[in-house]
Amino acid sequence: MNTLDRAVIAAGFDVERVRADFPVLNQTIHGKPLVYLDNAATAQKPRAVIDAIVKFYEVDCANIHRGVHELSQRSTAAYEETRAKVRRFLNARHKQEIIFVRGTTEGINLVTQTWGRTHLKQGDEIIIAGLEHHSNIVPWQFVCEETGARLRVIPIDERGELILEEYEKLLGPHTRMVAIGHVSNALGTINPVARIIRMAHAAGALTLVDGAQAVPHMPVDLQALDADFYAFSGHKLYGPTGIGVLYGKTELLDAMPPYQGGGDMIRTVTFEKTTYNDLPYKFEAGTPDIAGGIGLGAAVDYVTRLGIDKIGAYEHELLLYATEALEQIPGLRIIGTAREKAAVLSFVMEGIHPHDIGTVLDHQGIAVRTGHHCAQPVMDRYHIPATTRASLAFYNTAAEIDALVAGLYKVKEVFGDD
Amino acid sequence: MIDDLYQETILDHSKRPRNHHTLAGANRKAEGYNPLCGDKLKLYLKMEGDIVSDAAFEGSGCAISTASASLMTESLKGKTREEAMKLVDKFHDLLTTDTPASRDLGKLVVFCGVRDYPARVKCATLAWHTLKSALHGSEETVTTE
């Protein structure tokens, strides 16, 4: 066992025991033990989440909010319980502020299509950052095109940190919304969102935070942050795909028109006029991903049981270990060296394309992401087409980092100068 | 095995790409783009009548796409437009079907290993998509999507 692993066990985090909770980790790829380092794309699911989904389909399956029969009451209770769990987990003020969506992308689109279309006009400005994922760029571009509002971008420095002086200059009487990623998926930068939100509010603007990469890795307190909207995806929080959450402050959600029309989002329907349901149902038309919602509840329970603080502390140790190990490799350059960083290591290797790195690593059983990570403006900022990205989770070990390093030496062996 | 994909010839051409420059006197030009990996490629052809008398490319990509462009430009020289178009189809078949490799492919058969890596087929075909567009005389950027 590695020294870091031993130290961490002493600190109360038994990574080997945690790994046993994740069935997918126990397999070989091309004859080598799987080393899964693509957690920023999607995280693996613990047995508890898989079991909750199986139980729903085997025992409790029925549509929610509809039937008076036993199964419908069970499924409704389980689904709604997740809303309560998410509220507690993120310290939202009210349960009704937790709206289920497909994921972060849909959460942001909901805001741009409802709040955006009714509140933005010619000359208004939206501020985003140079680190954004495409899902926090493109929906705003849509609504800007429709309303005549304008997108402004906070630049980033060489480390991959937002330049706050530039942000301050962008803020002004025309700023309506500041939409910012909490943690960069491409570089791992943790943005100072509390400060960004305070500055936005002082300028009279609203705020939306893309929390996809933050919620799985650090404590998030929505009331302390005072974000007006906050979105995250279940599948990055060790939950199922197809379910996510948009949080919004009650008074804002109340003043927004519905997102999609259909069942569950109405109070009364006649051919002349329809009245809408209360929050959060106003924004939840149609049968949702019930199994996904229940699975997300199990994921929140799982993460809560491990302790999000402990998860964050362990992942930080692993990040430091991995950063030091990768920096020893000649010709390797880490892209994104922010002082506050989540456990994401994006890097380039001299003369070797990320896709080739990815394929050779895959042959060592190591799963990494290669490409632009849905953040092309970030790649443009560093004048590179792509990076290789290893993104860590609490079930990764120092031994796996050692395997990554060995894999990268193999890459150099295949493609090195001869 | 990883060596089946990265055969010696592919590694050689990726490290020392042939015809990797602009082409004076080129009368056909096209750009290719693979949005998946961000690779961009510029292809230059010099046509004398119906014959490709010279070919070259610029841009950098992964080993597979660079070697593919390098070997493609080598194999194009002296071919008629129609022969070149047929080669595009044969190369595509090599990567996507189990049919035995056409003998016309020559050295290009080294890409047969790409067949087992569906995620990498687009790397190998970028230069060839671009070739098609150059032969059609369209100047628009083609993408592999």
Residue in A closest to B40 by C-alpha = A385
Pairing of strands A366-367, A35-36: parallel
Read off the pLDDT of residues A196-232 as tens digits, 9 standing for 90 and up. 999 999 999 999 999 999 999 999 999 999 999 999 9
Cβ neighbours of B123 in A, within 8 Å: 355
Read off the pLDDT of residues A172-197 as tens digits, 9 standing for 90 and up. 999 999 999 999 999 999 999 999 99
Q: Residue A344: which CATH number?
A: 3.90.1150.10
Tokens of A291: 């199994």
- The predicted pLDDT at position B55 comes to 97
**A376 and chain B in contact, CB less than 8 A:** yes
Q: Residue A228: which CATH number?
A: 3.40.640.10
Q: What 3-state DSSP class applies to B98?
A: coil
The pTM for the full model equals 0.94
Q: Is residue A401 part of a domain?
A: yes
Tell me: do A98 and A8 sit in the same domain.
no
Question: What is the set of active-site residues of A?
Answer: 374
Point out the residue among B5, B15, B60 whose CB comes nearest to the CB of A359.
Answer: B5
Read off the pLDDT of residues A34-56 as tens digits, 9 standing for 90 and up. 999 999 999 999 999 999 999 99
Tell me: do A287 and A199 sit in the same domain.
yes
Question: What average pLDDT does this structure show over A234-256?
Answer: 98
Tell me: do A55 and A193 sit in the same domain.
yes
Residue in B closest to A355 by C-alpha = B62
- The predicted pLDDT at position A66 comes to 81
CATH class entry, domain B2-136: alpha beta
Question: In angstroms, what separates the C-alpha of A345 from chain B's closest C-alpha?
Answer: 18
Domain count, chain A: 2
Cβ neighbours of A376 in B, within 8 Å: 38
Question: What average pLDDT does this structure show over A66-82?
Answer: 94
- The predicted pLDDT at position A358 comes to 96
Question: In angstroms, what separates the C-alpha of B14 from chain A's closest C-alpha?
Answer: 9
Read off the pLDDT of residues A321-361 as tens digits, 9 standing for 90 and up. 999 999 999 999 999 999 999 999 999 999 999 999 999 99
Tell me: do A382 and A263 sit in the same domain.
no
Those residues of chain B whose CB sits closer than 8 Å to some CB in chain A are 2, 5-6, 11, 14-15, 36-40, 60-64, 117, 120, 123
Tokens of B82: 């129609």
Q: Please state, in angstroms and rounded to a whole number, the distance separating the CA atoms of residues A391 and A77.
A: 35
pLDDT at A1 over 80: no
pLDDT at A8 over 70: no
Phi-psi label, residue B3: left if phi above 0, alpha if psi -120 to 50, beta otherwise: alpha
- Residue whose tokens read 């980790």: A25
CB distance B2–A359 less than 8 Å? yes
pLDDT at A264 over 90: no
For chain B, residues with pLDDT lower than 70 are 138-145
| Residues B129 and B32 sit within 8 Å (Cβ to Cβ) | yes
Q: In whole numbers, what is the pLDDT of chain A averaged over residues? A: 95
Interface test with A, best of B12, B40, B62 (most A CBs within 10 A): B62
Point out the residue among A353, A354, A363 whose CB comes nearest to the CB of B2.
Answer: A363
Tell me: do A128 and A79 sit in the same domain.
yes
**Parent domain of A247:** 50-305
- The predicted pLDDT at position B128 comes to 96
- The predicted pLDDT at position A245 comes to 98
pLDDT at A292 over 60: yes
Tell me: do A296 and A326 sit in the same domain.
no
The model's confidence at residue A417, banded by pLDDT at 50, 70 and 90, is: low
Point out the residue among B2, B14, B61 whose CB comes nearest to the CB of A360.
Answer: B2
Q: What is the DSSP letter of B16?
A: S
Residue in A closest to B16 by C-alpha = A417
For residue B106, give the amino acid letter.
G
CB distance B117–A359 less than 8 Å? yes
- The predicted pLDDT at position B29 comes to 94
Q: Name which of A109-113, A263-267, A306-310 the model is least confident about.
A: A263-267
Boundaries of every domain in chain B: 2-136
**A363 and chain B in contact, CB less than 8 A:** yes
- The predicted pLDDT at position B34 comes to 85
Question: What average pLDDT does this structure show over A372-385?
Answer: 91
CB distance A371–B37 less than 8 Å? yes
Of A305, A329, A344, the last residue of a domain is: A305
**A377 and chain B in contact, CB less than 8 A:** no
ipTM tops the 0.90 cut: no
| Residues A178 and A196 sit within 8 Å (Cβ to Cβ) | yes
Cβ neighbours of B117 in A, within 8 Å: 359
- The predicted pLDDT at position B141 comes to 66
Tell me: do A288 and A149 sit in the same domain.
yes
Of A256, A285, A305, the last residue of a domain is: A305
- The predicted pLDDT at position B21 comes to 96
Read off the pLDDT of residues A117-155 as tens digits, 9 standing for 90 and up. 999 999 999 999 999 999 999 999 999 999 999 999 999
- The predicted pLDDT at position A6 comes to 56
Question: In angstroms, what separates the C-alpha of B65 from chain A's closest C-alpha?
Answer: 10
- The predicted pLDDT at position A235 comes to 98
pLDDT at A11 over 80: no
Tell me: do A17 and A72 sit in the same domain.
no
pLDDT at A9 over 90: no
Cross-strand pairs, B141: B31
**A355 and chain B in contact, CB less than 8 A:** yes
Point out the residue among A356, A386, A418 whose CB comes nearest to the CB of B63.
Answer: A356
Tell me: do A323 and A202 sit in the same domain.
no
Pairing of strands A229-233, A206-210: parallel
Point out the residue among A353, A363, A417 whose CB comes nearest to the CB of B62.
Answer: A353
Residue in A closest to B60 by C-alpha = A353
Tell me: do A344 and A403 sit in the same domain.
yes
CA end-to-end span of chain B, whole Å? 28
CB distance B117–A415 less than 8 Å? no
**A369 and chain B in contact, CB less than 8 A:** no
